[in-house]
Chains A and B, each alone.
Chain A
Amino acid sequence: MRGLHIPSPLTTLPWKMLLVVCGLTGFGLLVLYSAAGGAMTWAMPQGIRFVVFLGMAIGMSYFRPTFYKEWTFLAYAGVLVLLMLVEAMGAMGGGAQRWLDLGPIRLQPSELMKPAVVLAVARFYDMLPAREINKWMAVWPALVLIGLPAALVMLQPDLGTAIAVTTGGVTVMFLAGLPLRYFIGAGAATAVAVPLAYNFVLHDYQRNRIMIFLDPEADPLGTGYHITQSKIAIGSGGLTGNGFLQGTQSHFAFLPEPHTDFIFATMAEEWGLLGGLIVIFGFALLLKWGTSVALASRGRFERLTAAGLTMTIFFYVAINLMMVMGLAPVVGIPLPLISYGGSAMMTIMICLGIMMSIDRQNRLDPRRRQPD
């Protein structure tokens, strides 16, 4: 087993980053405790899940980046097959389904696809000779790698995850050095395509969510209810919040999904703007660490992977926060580490595990050039 690394001293772990992750999760557990009305209903399983997945991430960090590089395409293909499986089961079961039931665990392959796409696209540009970067050959395989899973997820239908998968992959393409005009052109094309997609591709409920996002107060008791109630929770929190366990929006069930997608609103009602600053600052530290890992990497795969995974985490945070503050439509993306639920937690920990592996390699031998 060439990829196995002899365990380094614990000092090679990025302690500051881990402290931030623990801090964010710990704060999240407090909010979950309050959201359950002062009970461990959600906080306990979430805490256990965190410990398990953190252990997994640290374990992952002891594998070398080369290991991930070698298994990338196989893992990508595997997740793609799982996605198709979910799609097929949904078609047979007569209802849209996003997960596979594996006994005690419900595996959501679309979650695994978020890091898998980043790894696969990074691996592709890693293999591509530098001089080929301006050619058509440098574009279409990456587009297939991104488009296939994105289309499958879109079929589920899960707009949020499809955009997340696409964003991760496209970020890697951008960082790989594709000519800028491609992105400008794609941006212009999107501007044209969005109205078309809105009319012909999106489901009614998705279209409705976008309409409501544009004018939530038009339908305060219908679908706009989510956004309005979320803004009421955040807005009534003020600077320092109503106090721990004192939120009425969440406790009296005015706020929908107070422990999952809208947990930031639950938090903001009780902790106010200060709580929001703590959370945003925490994530900023985490993302800064990710970016610095990417910049410190020597290998092209490591660089692109670290930056792409950072983007994946950022996407979660940004979309979720924009959603709860009424800056984005309600797409059902949780706030990583804080929202109750295993799938997002697992994805984030996979990202962190791989990034810690890259970080470890950077620290151990900063001047060593990668063989590829």
Chain B
Amino acid sequence: MKRPKLPLVTETSQAAMFSRRAVVIGAAQAGLAAVLVGRQGYIAIAQNQRYADMAEENRIQMRLIPPRRGWIVDRHGHPMAVNRSDYRVDLIPDRLEDPERVIAELTRLLELTPEDIDRIRRGLEAAAGFQPVPVVEHLSFEKFAAVSLRLPELPGVSPLRAFSRYYPEGAAVGHLIGYVGTPNREEYEAEDKNPLLIAPGFKIGKEGLEQVMEQRLRGRPGAARVEVTARGRLVRELRTLPDVSGPPLRTTIDAGLQSFAARRLGEESGACVVMDCHSGNLLAMASMPAYDPNSFSDGIGHNEWEMFRADERKPLLNKVLNALYPPGSTMKPSVALALLEAGVDPEERVNCPGGYQLGNRFFRCLGRHGGMTLHTAIARSCNTYFYAMGRRIGFDRIAPVARSLGLGEKFDLPVVSQSYGTIPDSEWKRRRHGQNPELFLRADWTDSDTLNASIGQGYVILNPLQLATMSACIASGKRVRPRLVEGEGTPPQDLPYDPEYFATVRAGMDEVVNGHGTAGRSRLPFPDIRMAGKTGTAQVRRIAAGQRGQGGERRFRDHGLFVFFAPADRPIYAGAVVIEHGMGGSRAAAPVAKDVMTYLFDKDKAMTALHALEAQWGGNIAQRMERRAQAWAARSATQAEDSEAAG
């Protein structure tokens, strides 16, 4: 019997096959069950420790407690930067699930402005992971509570009670103290991703003393071991190590004087420096206009920034340190000291016929002064005298004296940056122009260079702090250098010049204000206290003779400068005032110096004068800044409408 190729399939054989195959499947299922048990055993027993650690890593977090920043106080302990308890809200980018919804919800809860939203969006784009993006600060408790209540539906939102920086003097200390802000990505990476820098609400110094003294002001963070959920909600605190606040930083500044100086500068763009002429302690260094550090510390809005950038008075520039001006006649006291040091007889007369002939070029003086001694040449600011005498001894003998008085020097100060300018000499010019292919810039020092430099023009360019330092050196006869932090540095040594020379120069400067001088209108309103000084007028650009930048477009007008010390007979204070485009030292700068010195000897009298001026200007600094901001906002709104209409 031939078997069929395929076995005949019957129902019985099919049933048998079913049973066989069902057993195969059952066995496979049992096998898989065994694999699953084995797998769970492997994970839960063999790798238990590893996963237990990972679970703990998940739920236990070290939370940094940001330290409170050290106060910045003035010489009397009066606070200039303090911390205020504050409610705030931040966004943690890594925990945000739906940024748009969260921002919309926060906008509703916190009444955010479009400006705020714009700033938050830019913050989110620039932020690195867990780095918080501030939403609002200085929140009322009601709004803070409203956000806290809705927290479960707002992942990535972190409401916090923290401390914010407050500067009682506002814009008056803007450039001096700087401001604080949320660290940016670069700053975070520069500190090796220090986790403190991404703690919500933590801020670091961004300018001025706040930036330079960052490490000293910061303090030591505390830490809390906390149990958290996946969304970062705190379950409980396990252990806490308290933070250590930063120690207070005592500066040499006199907060009252600083504020007065800033206010007295008024609507002008300028700088006012006052220092103790024996120690070099800076009592005031105001640069106006300035930003309000309180407002900058909350985060700088795009609009605010644009407004400051557009202002021709340059509110973002610290004019005490970072602006350079030709000193003009304020240079003359140091030239006079150099002349005496070089052996010039102070009684020798130089006739001033209204200028000085050098070759075929006539260097002008401001007047026809007739016979001038050193004393009268300082008092009346006679260029001819300094042209003639400067040329006699040569500028290479003037420059070292000028430098010994701090001119052209970069000071050892806790500041972010200094522009230190130039006191030129022949060596400097060779270096500077030696390789210059243009023939009219000669590499050798000429007499006309000396003449220009002797009246503080030409290549000479300095910052207001250097002028103040020079004034302090002449006032005290010591090698005074500015200091900003109390208790640092050694007391200044005497300068290696004959004290008689200093007395001679000081007498000339006394005459400027209190005799037949250029600043007679700026005498102090006291019978027994005199201020001595020297005016200066710095050309902004070379203008044809007789048309000396005394009018016309603001940006071409001359700068007004004034260096001073007081009391004239036994100096305590020295300083400098620069008013940009003020058109003259006696007209713009000396009156500011007069009021600032008055403040030091009689506060009430000075404040009365200031209040009268501020009434004229339309309010104090904060009020005027507010009005400017409103005008700016109105103008940008109009412009936006115009461009829309045009488009």
Q: Count residues on chain A whose CB falls below 8 Å from chain B CBs.
A: 51
* A291 touching B22 in the complex, CB below 8 Å, given contacts A177-B9, A237-B44, A252-B229: yes
* A273 touching B54 in the complex, CB below 8 Å, given contacts A175-B18, A235-B48, A254-B230: no
Task: Please tell me which stretch of B31-39, B269-277, B459-467, B626-634 contacts chain A, meaning at least 4 of its Cβ atoms lie within 8 angstroms of it.
Answer: B31-39
Q: Give A277's nearest chain B residue, CB to CB.
A: B37
Task: Indicate whether B55 reaches chain A with its CB closer than 8 angstroms.
Answer: yes
Task: Indicate whether A360 reaches chain B with its CB closer than 8 angstroms.
Answer: no
Q: Give A237 to B40 CA distance when docked, in angstroms.
A: 10
Q: Is the CB of B58 within 8 A of A325?
A: no
Q: Give B11's nearest chain A residue, CB to CB.
A: A130
Task: Indicate whether A2 reaches chain B with its CB closer than 8 angstroms.
Answer: no
Give the most central of B6, B14, B19, B59: most A CB within 10 Å. B14
Task: Indicate whether A22 reaches chain B with its CB closer than 8 angstroms.
Answer: no
Task: Please tell me which stretch of A48-56, A190-198, A226-234 contacts chain B, meaning at least 4 of its Cβ atoms lie within 8 angstroms of it.
Answer: A226-234
> Out of A130, A252, A300, which one reaches B58, CB within 8 Å?
A252
Task: Indicate whether B609 reaches chain A with its CB closer than 8 angstroms.
Answer: no
Residues of A240-270 contacting chain B, CB below 8 A: 248-249, 251-254, 268-269
Secondary structure class of chain A's binding surface, majority of residues: helix
> Out of B21, B51, B58, which one reaches A234, CB within 8 Å?
B51
> Out of B10, B32, B48, which one reaches A236, CB within 8 Å?
B48
Q: Give A23 to B227 CA distance when docked, in angstroms.
A: 35
A238 to B: closest C-beta gap in Å: 5
Within 8 Å CB of B50, what residues of A? 235
Q: Is the CB of A249 within 8 A of B36?
A: no
Contact with A along B25-62 (1 / 0, CB 8 A): 11001101101110111011101101110110011000
Task: Indicate whether B235 reaches chain A with its CB closer than 8 angstroms.
Answer: yes
> Out of B10, B41, B231, which one reaches A273, CB within 8 Å?
B41
* A177 touching B47 in the complex, CB below 8 Å, given contacts A252-B229, A295-B22: no
Q: Give A236 to B51 CA distance when docked, in angstroms.
A: 5
Q: Give A311's nearest chain B residue, CB to CB.
A: B25
Q: Give A238's nearest chain B residue, CB to CB.
A: B48
The interface size bin for chain B is 35 or more
> Out of B35, B58, B231, which one reaches A248, CB within 8 Å?
B58
* A133 touching B52 in the complex, CB below 8 Å, given contacts A175-B22, A249-B58: no
Q: Is the CB of A253 within 8 A of B229?
A: yes
* A294 touching B22 in the complex, CB below 8 Å, given contacts A232-B51, A235-B43, A235-B47: yes
Contact with B along A17-38 (1 / 0, CB 8 A): 0000000000000000000000
* A327 touching B39 in the complex, CB below 8 Å, given contacts A234-B51, A238-B52: yes
Q: Give A348 to B342 CA distance when docked, in angstroms.
A: 111
Task: Indicate whether A86 reaches chain B with its CB closer than 8 angstroms.
Answer: no
Q: Is the CB of A253 within 8 A of B59?
A: no
Task: Indicate whether A134 reaches chain B with its CB closer than 8 angstroms.
Answer: yes
Q: Give A253 to B230 CA distance when docked, in angstroms.
A: 5
Q: Is the CB of A233 within 8 A of B55?
A: yes
Q: Is the CB of B44 within 8 A of A273?
A: yes
Task: Indicate whether A89 reaches chain B with its CB closer than 8 angstroms.
Answer: no
Q: Is the CB of A295 within 8 A of B19?
A: yes
Q: Is the CB of A268 within 8 A of B44?
A: yes
Q: Is the CB of B32 within 8 A of A318?
A: yes
Q: Is the CB of A235 within 8 A of B41?
A: no
> Out of A131, A252, A288, A291, which one reaches B228, CB within 8 Å?
A252
A148 to B: closest C-beta gap in Å: 24
* A134 touching B58 in the complex, CB below 8 Å, given contacts A235-B48, A303-B18: no
A239 to B: closest C-beta gap in Å: 6
Q: Give A254 to B230 CA distance when docked, in angstroms.
A: 5
> Out of A174, A252, A280, A318, which one reaches B59, CB within 8 Å?
A252
A315 to B: closest C-beta gap in Å: 10
Q: Give A277 to B41 CA distance when docked, in angstroms.
A: 9
Task: Indicate whether A307 reaches chain B with its CB closer than 8 angstroms.
Answer: yes
Task: Indicate whether A171 reaches chain B with its CB closer than 8 angstroms.
Answer: yes
Task: Indicate whether B439 reaches chain A with its CB closer than 8 angstroms.
Answer: no
Within 8 Å CB of A283, what residues of B? 33
Q: Give A99 to B12 CA distance when docked, in angstroms.
A: 43
Q: Give A273 to B43 CA distance when docked, in angstroms.
A: 9
**A-B pairs with beta carbons under 8 Å apart, 22 shown:** A130-B10, A130-B14, A134-B6, A134-B9, A174-B25, A176-B14, A232-B55, A235-B48, A235-B52, A237-B44, A238-B45, A252-B59, A252-B228, A252-B229, A272-B44, A276-B44, A287-B26, A288-B26, A295-B19, A295-B22, A303-B15, A327-B39
Given contacts A252-B229, A254-B59, 16 further A-B contacts (CB under 8 A): A130-B14, A175-B25, A176-B18, A235-B48, A235-B51, A276-B44, A284-B30, A287-B26, A288-B26, A291-B22, A291-B25, A295-B19, A311-B25, A318-B32, A325-B39, A327-B35
Q: Which 4 pairs between the two chains have the least Cβ-Cβ distance? A: A235-B51, A252-B229, A236-B55, A253-B230
Residues of chain A whose beta carbon lies under 8 Å from any beta carbon of chain B: 130-131, 133-134, 171, 174-177, 229, 231-239, 248-249, 251-254, 268-269, 272-273, 276-277, 280, 283-284, 287-288, 291, 294-295, 300, 303-304, 307, 311, 314, 318, 321-322, 325-327
